[in-house]
Amino acid sequence: MDHDELLRTVLASDELPTLPTVASKLITLTSREDTTLTDIADLIAQDVSLSAKILKVSNSSFYSFPQQIGSIKQAVSILGTNAVRSLVLSFSFLSIRNGSRKSRFDFAKFWERSLAAAVASKLILEKVKGVDTEEVFISGLLQNLGELIFARTFPDTYEQVIEAVADNQYDLLNAEQSLLGITHCHIGYEVAKHWSFPETLLQPLRFHHRPADYQDGDRTILATIKAVYLSDLLINILFSSKPEEYHKQFRKEAKKLLGLTNEDIEDILEKVHISVVQAGAYFGLKMKHTKSIQEILQEANIRLSLLNLDYDQMNKQLVAAKIELENLTRELEKKNKILDNLVHIDGLTEIYNHRYFQTALDREIDRSIRQDASVSLLFIDIDHFKMFNDTYGHQLGDEILKDFSSLLKSHLRTYDTLARYGGEEFGVILPATDGDTALLVAEKLRAEIDDNEFLVDSEKHHVSASFGVCSSRPGVEDDFSKSLMISRADQALYEAKRQGRNRVCLWTPKKKWYRL
- Tell me which residues are annotated as active site: 424
Three-state DSSP class for residue 24? helix
Within its chain, how far is the Cα of 328 from the centroid?
Answer: 27
Distance in angstroms (rounded) separating the CA atoms of residues 481 and 106 = 37
Specify the amino acid at residue 301: N
Task: Give SS3 for 129.
Answer: coil
Query: Is there a contact between 376 and 434 (Cβ–Cβ < 8 Å)?
Result: yes
CA-CA distance, 268 to 396, in Å (whole number)? Answer: 35
Q: Is 191 exposed, middle or buried (0-12, 13-18, 19+ CB in 10 A)?
A: buried
* CA angle centred on 489, ends 488 and 493, rounded to 5°: 115
Q: Name the β-bridge partners of 514.
A: 506
Q: Is 509 exposed, middle or buried (0-12, 13-18, 19+ CB in 10 A)?
A: exposed
Task: For residue 416, give Cα distances in angstroms to 141, 299, 427, 428, 433.
Answer: 38, 41, 10, 7, 10
Cβ within 8 Å of residue 157, ≥6 positions away = 150, 179, 180
End-to-end CA distance of the chain: 80
Q: What 3-state class would DSSP assign to 147? A: helix
Q: At what angle do helices 311-344 and 262-282 cross, to 10 degrees?
A: 80
Three-class SS state of 115: helix
SS3 for 148-201 is HHHHHHCHHHHHHHHHHHHCCCCCHHHHHHHHHCCCHHHHHHHHHHHCCCCHHH
Classify residue 251 as exposed, middle or buried by CB count within 10 Å of its CB (0-12, 13-18, 19+).
Answer: middle
